[in-house]
């Protein structure tokens, strides 16, 4: 098969690595890709926003499958437009990607199909939103409705913060994404990322992970796209997984089919495991980044076979095998992240760092004058496996020690919750 992979982050590097291991692959192309992906794929410059250009490329290169990494093109309808040209695409339609593209859409779906989630109100008007917040009180959560690159959520511990967040949203802090807001109940519990591979009718559980959203050790500082992750998430016991499928994912699949927008692709449920059980925080309609990196390290099966089955509506006949142990990834970020990262600093020592079996996925790198340089906020994902999370954690940090990049920083405590559990046996 000829495959085109869209995207340029660590998630896409991990996907490329796994796709390249498939005996089904003839040739992999990636656009725009990155220097790490370039080891497995021919990198091509395509204007991904121009769907007919992508389609023309697919026809010329006889692409058998397009794999879409990030949410932006999905919400913009790239899957629909390529399918109209007869091209096979792994990823949801525009209508199904509303599960990520509009938080209000997802909340209304939950209300309609009785899916457990935080109580909420949906507002296109500042005064009405403020009245709701004043009536409900803090802590409370304010979310811009649309895609805001992970920055549209404010966890307001006081009424003042909540009102300020509403002002910011309606003042255009998130552009069109904030023209509407969701205000919701503050949930407490442990968070988990839960993935399902979906073909429109069947949802096949596809691994669990835990992310670390805050930039600093001890879960401090501003939110990021994710500073590290590990898989599996111990909180997702077989019982919790079964409940999540029955109470959240399956009603979503039926609900989306019911609305004429069956979901095919990766459904990523951000969950809060509360005293009452799993509640949906949000859906994403693509792999998590960096969660994908740890899932790919643990997946024993051929990813291309599974993606094909999802595209062809054959998941009811499939199963998935994972390695028994754990995988953990630590994000190395450029100084300044999650604000404006410093670009251009030189990174050395990746081959030495990877010599003990760590995989180093490139998230934001470029080649400049023959040298590997930082070219984004999250720059590298240093990833390792082990029989326990603790062992994977040790290996990842040993690899990081060997990387020569003084301008990079990382969290020192990725996996702490699971390691603590392993040590105390609870």
Q: Which stretch binds ligand AMP (CB under 6 A): 57-65, 186-194, 227-235, 349-357?
A: 186-194
Q: How far apart are CA 401 and CA 149, in angstroms?
A: 30
DSSP for 340-360, written as a single string? S-----B-B-HHHHGGGS-EE
Picking from 117, 116, 168, the residue whose alpha carbon sits closest to that of residue 142 is 168
* Beta-carbon contacts of residue 188 (< 8 Å; ≥ 6 apart): 272, 274
Q: Is 99 in the site for ligand AMP (CB under 6 A)?
A: no
Q: Is 280 in the site for ligand AMP (CB under 6 A)?
A: no
At closest approach, how far in Å is the CB of 288 from ligand GLY? 4
Q: How far apart are CA 209 and CA 308, in angstroms?
A: 23
Site string for ligand GLY, 234-273 (x = CB under 6 A): ----------------------------------------
At closest approach, how far in Å is the CB of 272 from ligand AMP? 6
Cis amide leading into 367 (omega within 30): no
- Binding positions for ligand AMP, 308-327, rule CB under 6 A: none
Q: Is 184 in the site for ligand AMP (CB under 6 A)?
A: yes
Sole binder of ligand GLY in the list 288, 386, 408, 415 (CB under 6 A): 288
Q: How far apart are CA 227 and CA 204, in angstroms?
A: 27
Q: How far apart are CA 7 and CA 67, in angstroms?
A: 9
Q: Is 284 in the site for ligand GLY (CB under 6 A)?
A: yes
* Beta-carbon contacts of residue 332 (< 8 Å; ≥ 6 apart): 378, 379, 380, 381, 382, 400, 403, 405, 408, 409, 410
Pairing of strands 365-368, 371-374: antiparallel
At closest approach, how far in Å is the CB of 224 from ligand AMP? 10
* Residue number with CB closer to ligand GLY (121 or 265): 265
Sole binder of ligand GLY in the list 64, 184, 289, 359 (CB under 6 A): 289
Site string for ligand AMP, 55-94 (x = CB under 6 A): ----------------------------------------
Q: Is 225 in the site for ligand GLY (CB under 6 A)?
A: yes
Q: Is 213 in the site for ligand AMP (CB under 6 A)?
A: yes
Residue 11 near residue 65, CB atoms below 8 Å: no
Sole binder of ligand AMP in the list 3, 78, 118, 163 (CB under 6 A): 118
Interface positions with ligand AMP (CB under 6 A): 118, 141, 150, 153, 155, 184-187, 191, 213, 270, 281-282
């Amino acid at each position: 098969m000829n495959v085109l992979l869209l995207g340029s982050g660590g998630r896409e590097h991990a996907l490329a690595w796994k796709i390249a291991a498939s005996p089904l692959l003839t040739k992999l192309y990636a656009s725009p890709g990155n220097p790490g992906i370039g080891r497995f794929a021919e990198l091509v410059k395509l204007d991904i926003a121009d769907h007919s250009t992508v389609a023309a490329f697919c026809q010329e290169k006889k692409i058998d499958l397009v794999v879409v990494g990030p949410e932006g093109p999905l919400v913009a309808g790239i899957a629909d437009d390529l399918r109209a040209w007869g091209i096979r695409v792994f990823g949801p339609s525009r209508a199904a990607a509303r599960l990520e593209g509009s938080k209000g859409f997802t909340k209304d779906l939950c209300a309609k199909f009785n899916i457990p989630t935080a109580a909420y109100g949906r507002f296109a008007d500042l005064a009405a939103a403020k009245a709701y917040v004043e009536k409900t009180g803090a802590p409370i959560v304010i979310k811009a409705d649309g895609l805001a690159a992970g920055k549209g959520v404010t966890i307001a511990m006081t009424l003042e913060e909540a009102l300020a967040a509403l002002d910011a949203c309606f003042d255009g802090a998130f552009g069109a994404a904030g023209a509407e807001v969701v205000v919701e109940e503050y949930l407490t519990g442990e968070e988990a990322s839960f993935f399902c591979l979906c073909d429109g009718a069947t949802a096949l559980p596809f691994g669990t992970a835990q992310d670390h959203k805050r930039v600093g050790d001890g879960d401090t500082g501003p939110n990021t796209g994710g500073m590290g992750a590990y898989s599996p998430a111990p909180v997702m016991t077989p019982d919790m997984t079964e409940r999540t499928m029955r109470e959240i994912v399956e009603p979503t699949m039926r609900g989306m089919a019911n609305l004429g927008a069956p979901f095919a692709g990766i459904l990523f449920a951000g969950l809060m495991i509360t005293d009452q059980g799993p509640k949906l925080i949000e859906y994403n309609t693509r792999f998590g980044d960096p969660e994908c990196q740890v899932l790919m390290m643990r997946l024993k099966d051929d990813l291309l076979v599974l993606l094909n089955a999802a595209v062809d509506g054959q998941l009811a006949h499939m199963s998935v095998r994972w390695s028994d142990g754990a995988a953990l990834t630590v994000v190395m970020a450029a100084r300044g992240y999650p604000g404006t990262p410093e670009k251009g600093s030189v990174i050395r020592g990746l081959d030495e760092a990877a010599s003990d079996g760590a995989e180093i996925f490139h998230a934001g790198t470029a080649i400049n004058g023959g040298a590997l340089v930082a070219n984004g906020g999250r720059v590298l994902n240093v990833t390792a496996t082990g029989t326990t999370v603790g062992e994977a954690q040790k290996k990842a940090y040993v690899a990081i020690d060997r990387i020569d990049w003084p301008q990079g920083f990382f969290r020192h405590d990725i996996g702490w919750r699971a390691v603590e559990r392993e040590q105390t046996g609870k």
